[in-house]
Amino acid sequence: MGHQIDIGGWIELRLTDRLLLEPQIIYTESHDADTDERFFKGYIARSRIGYQFNRELSLRLVCEYNDFAERWSIDPLITYRINPFSTFYAGATYDYANFSDCGIEQTRSLTCLSDRQFFMKIQYLFQT
């Protein structure tokens, strides 16, 4: 059993009619209820940027730092709306870790690409 503190906040900033910025941070800390020993503490900082080129085409970029795992991730996504019920998606995920997690010894705190995935999806409404 323990005591946990969760603090978080976010804001939506519409910089132009087409550009939206959504920074967010969540902090969590947990302590043992009897001894007050800390189980863990850390935060996740995330930022989502969206740009609407026109009615059909949009781009979204999510950047996140996870302090618990000491990892970065960058996730771009492009969306093309064929019609209101049919959409094409193309995106990727890029995960970055410390050099030591990649099997490279380095004295400075630098990162390397640890994982990458690409994906595409088409969602189409068929009427019968």
- Domain map (residue ranges) of the chain: 2-123
Q: Answer yes or no: is pLDDT of 102 > 90.
A: no
Q: Which residues have C-beta within 8 Å of that of residue 60, sequence separation ≥ 6?
A: 48, 49, 50, 51, 76, 77, 78, 79
The reported pTM is 0.78
Average of per-residue pLDDT across 31-59 = 94
Q: Which residues have C-beta within 8 Å of that of residue 103, sequence separation ≥ 6?
A: none
Q: What is the per-residue pLDDT for 109?
A: 56
**pLDDT 10s digits, 63-100:** 999 998 888 999 999 999 998 889 999 999 998 887 56
Average pLDDT, the chain: 89
Q: Answer yes or no: is pLDDT of 1 > 80.
A: no
